[in-house]
Chain A
Amino acid sequence: MLAETLSASIVGVEGLPVRVEVDVAFGLPALTIVGLAGSQVQEARERVRSALRNSGFELPARRITINLSPADLPKDGTGYDLPIAVGILAASGQLRSVDRLGKTALVGELGLDGALRPVPGIMALAAASHAAGISALIVSRGATSEAAAVTGLRVHGADSLGEAVSHLAGVRDIAVAEPTRLPVSCAPRRGPDLEEVEGQSLARRGLEIALAGRHNLALCGPPGIGKTLLLRCAAGLVPPLEDEEAIEVSRIYSVAGLLDRRAPLLRDRPFRAPHHTISTQALVGGGPRIRPGEASLAHRGILLLDETLQFRSDALDALREPLEGGSITIARVDGALTMPARFTLLAAFNPCPCGWRGAKRRPCTCEDATARRYAARLSGPLRDRIDLWVTMAQPEPETAARGSVVESSAAVAGRIAHAWRRQLRRQGVANGDLPAGSLDLGRGFRAEAEGILAQRGRQFGLSPRRLHRAARVARTVADLEGAEEVTREHVDEALTYRGAVDA
């Protein structure tokens, strides 16, 4: 007899509906799983065999063939245990009522005792099922709140195979889980507070502009000057995720298995600070089973690369694509896969290997050629994608003693949130996310400002691309001030962060 159950698979960071077809036929007893099932799926045979027996069902001594359709899509993971077990029960007549079976997706790993366990990526699987027109989903009880974050889908949390089967048969219903609500956006401020950073006003201001317009920022300076501390403050300066963003980001974290199952929806904007020894795959995603990398985990948030020049150069170069397009495409023999990765890049590095090049009171011990090679690790195309550059120097003793005005994170975060709202109201996206060429310089750009921009381009020898980036930064400077129009002053401030044309 033939039966079919519904489930879903993860492709990149998206879910894809999968049908599990079970055929129980006469022949030598066997259990075969086909449809590009990976080793984790193959092992389902043993788990299902024991789970069925220990739940009071029986595994028919027949020739059982299981096909996971679409059969040309590689599948892995342990979430197919439940649909396979239920499929066998339906095909062998142990589960007679199949009304609910056609409308309910099943995802879960089975213990040998028949217990139902959660798997990663539930949110993406639930969303894919819902999108495919499936109205209900059975998952393990522990994963219900993650699945119930998808609105419009009826989620049933079962503790065991037996409970799931009773529900499907209509013998004992499992109540629909409460939809998971977005957490209120008043999470405690993360990271250090700006108050802890001494001086470095230009770098502070650069960070404020970068975060307010989602521009990429680079800080260069000697060791111990506060680059890392300053950039770590960024986590507490950005507004929380918008509703749609929260679901989008949570889904990525769900696939990566990084969600807290009790509070599965993220509100805090991602802040990722991978160590510089990270591999290219871990940074941009990949691996035998393609997993989202740090760049995707930083989607809609911040990617901090501390000691940027110590990162592998191929890893850095792999960031060019997401920095330009906001997504990462991983090409494989059997097709390409795209994952979202639209983040604000915060980079911090020393000017040379010893760190003291250009410092006044301490000699640099690096060879010139060594220092040049070091700086060249940040390739030209990557440099081009950094909007704001700030060179930090050790403060003169008398300046440090005087202590300039030090603002708290709360004050700066307020301005950033305000500027952010202005941008979203005006154009729907942040200034830094405006695709190249789409920034309408005529709108909100005074003729004066436009003229100044062109003039400065000639005076400072800036390429059209750099000018365009400066225009976007100028727009953000104006937004921070609450100004409708960009003026000469905004353009000039934006150009302060243009960085050295020739090092």
Chain B
Amino acid sequence: MIGVGANGPVAGRSEHGGWSGFDLSALDARTERPYWIVLSLVPGIGPVGFARLLRRFGSARAAWAAGSALLSELPRVPDDAAPALARLRQEGASAVAARVELASRRAGGTIITALDRPYPPALGASDPRPPVLYVAGDPASMDGLCVAIVGTRRATGYGRACAAEIADELARAGVTVVSGLALGIDGQAHAAAVAAGGRSVAVLPSPLDRIYPPRHRGLAARLVASGGALVSELAPAHAPGKPDFARRNRIIAGLARAVVVIEAPDRSGALLTAAAAHDYGREVFAVPGPIDAIASRGCNRLIADHHATIVTSAAGLLHRIGAQPGVRPVSVTSLSDSEGMVLNSLLQQPGSIEELLGRTRLATGPLASTLTLLEARGLVESYGGATFHPTLTARRIGRPAGPVS
């Protein structure tokens, strides 16, 4: 599937219960809306089940009118589906919808069904697609070119540096960076995109009113404030329970034109996102790592098995997805001899203080002092570990800009 453009659903998927062959434009968004919302709340009615119901009954309203009979149309019905449906029916579709709408507004979001105009086009071209999305922030941020950056929560300094660099480059090129707000790579990518003045969309594994992980609440607020969005498939105040990572990963893959796996060990959730991207026909990229690095094993395998295109540079990635590199303000920085020596050494290869001591022949104290200065100037970053990496800014200074293949 290498290099498949992702502008539409791949043909021949309808037998898996997709939407293909069903004409949504025949439905009236306003009359259908409450039934879409209430049906999506029934346990067991996911994107696939919802599509089945539409095909069988013709509309959500008709499906709702069928009562508990609709459950027999579903491929798998969980035990709590029937009682939940009975409770929802007792309350009434419009009352439930009004209640959920209110809860969404309280959580700072709106409800977007697949019938609505702001429904992300990339997701609308996915199959199957989530019937209802809860969105905080600007839904239009998902209209343009979106690229997902995913990876392990236990990121190394290398992974964080790569995530920051690629997110920065994408954001400056006007690409929306999509990720899952998780700790590690996800958070680094969101933060770098926002810091570069770009837009970023976080797909949550939890409802909008229960941001997960709680440590990234501040980051989530920054995303919204800078023109990005938070997206969830789960209704606020409706579904407590565990964060749903599998659904989240599928939406991430659906929203994006391409998925970049930065750093993933074996059995990482990021590999599931890559698999979902395959199903949706999105292009998958992976950043390689040293073959002895545990955190990069999944990435290296994706590349080795031809499930992903190798990323050799941020600029190369931009080129592959057809985006133009953004303009970067060039800051003139004057460096002393020792500062220049340390930075040059890091540009050749990131390293720990121990390694730099051997390379630069400086004493520990002056070397530590120089590194902190470079860090303060935004030229070096350690990402909380013992290894120092040059930042993108430093690379621009140290290396003439140009097309990278």
Contact = CB atoms under 8 A, between A and B. Distances in A.
A267 interface: no
7 contacts: A199-B354, A357-B154, A368-B153, A368-B154, A391-B384, A492-B368, A497-B368
Interface stretch (B111-119, B224-232, B279-287, B370-378): B370-378
Contacts of A360: 156, 292-295
A493 to B, nearest CB: 4
Contacts of B353: 201-202
A496 B376 CA distance: 11
Interface stretch (A107-115, A278-286, A392-400): A392-400
Given A357-B154, A489-B366, A490-B369, A456 B358 contact: no
Interface of A: 199-202, 204-205, 357-358, 360-364, 368, 391-393, 395-396, 399, 402, 404, 455-456, 459-460, 477, 480-481, 488-490, 492-493, 495-497, 500, 503
Contact of A493 (B295, B355, B365): B365
Contacts of B385: 358, 391, 393
Nearest to A499: B384
Given A404-B358, A493-B365, A392 B386 contact: yes
A455 B376 CA distance: 9
B387 interface: yes
A477 B365 contact: yes
Given A368-B153, A391-B385, A363 B354 contact: no
A456 B378 CA distance: 12
A393 B386 contact: yes
Contacts of A503: 384
A360 B387 CA distance: 11
Nearest to A221: B386
Contact of B358 (A358, A399, A496): A399
A464 B157 CA distance: 28
A495 B372 contact: yes
Contact of A492 (B354, B358, B369): B369
B145 interface: no
B293 A399 contact: no
A460 B156 contact: no
Interface string B343-373: 0000000011111011000001110111111
Contacts of A402: 358
A392 B385 CA distance: 8
Contacts of B371: 496
B376 A202 contact: no
Contact of B354 (A357, A395, A477): A395
B386 A391 contact: yes
Contacts of A396: 351-352, 354-355
B373 A492 contact: yes
Interface string B236-249: 00000000000000
Contacts of B153: 368
Contacts of A200: 354
A497 B373 CA distance: 13
Contacts of B370: 492
Contacts of A490: 369
Instruction: List 5 tightest A-B contacts by C-beta distance, closest first.
Output: A393-B386, A493-B369, A496-B368, A492-B369, A492-B372
Interface residues of B, number: 31
B131 interface: no
A290 B131 CA distance: 70
Given A201-B353, A202-B353, A404-B354, A500 B154 contact: no
Contacts of A199: 354
B200 to A, nearest CB: 19
B364 A489 contact: no
A200 B357 CA distance: 11
B265 interface: yes
A456 B369 CA distance: 12
Contacts of A489: 366, 369
A399 B355 contact: yes
A328 B389 CA distance: 44
Contacts of A500: 384
B183 interface: yes
Contacts of A358: 154, 156, 385
Contacts of A480: 365
A379 B7 CA distance: 51
A71 B358 CA distance: 70
Nearest to B290: A360
A399 B359 CA distance: 10
A480 B363 CA distance: 14
B124 to A, nearest CB: 34
Interface in B261-301: 265, 292-295
Contacts of B376: 455-456, 459-460, 492, 495
Most buried by A among B351, B369, B375, B387: B369
A205 B364 contact: yes
A376 to B, nearest CB: 12
Given A360-B293, A402-B358, A495-B372, A393 B366 contact: no
Nearest to B387: A393
A201 B357 contact: yes
A203 to B, nearest CB: 9
A497 B353 CA distance: 12
B368 A205 contact: yes
A383 to B, nearest CB: 14
B154 A364 contact: yes
A440 B355 CA distance: 37
B265 A202 contact: no
A200 B369 CA distance: 17
A393 B387 CA distance: 9
Nearest to A490: B369
A411 to B, nearest CB: 13
Contacts of A404: 354, 357-358
A156 to B, nearest CB: 56
B294 A362 contact: yes
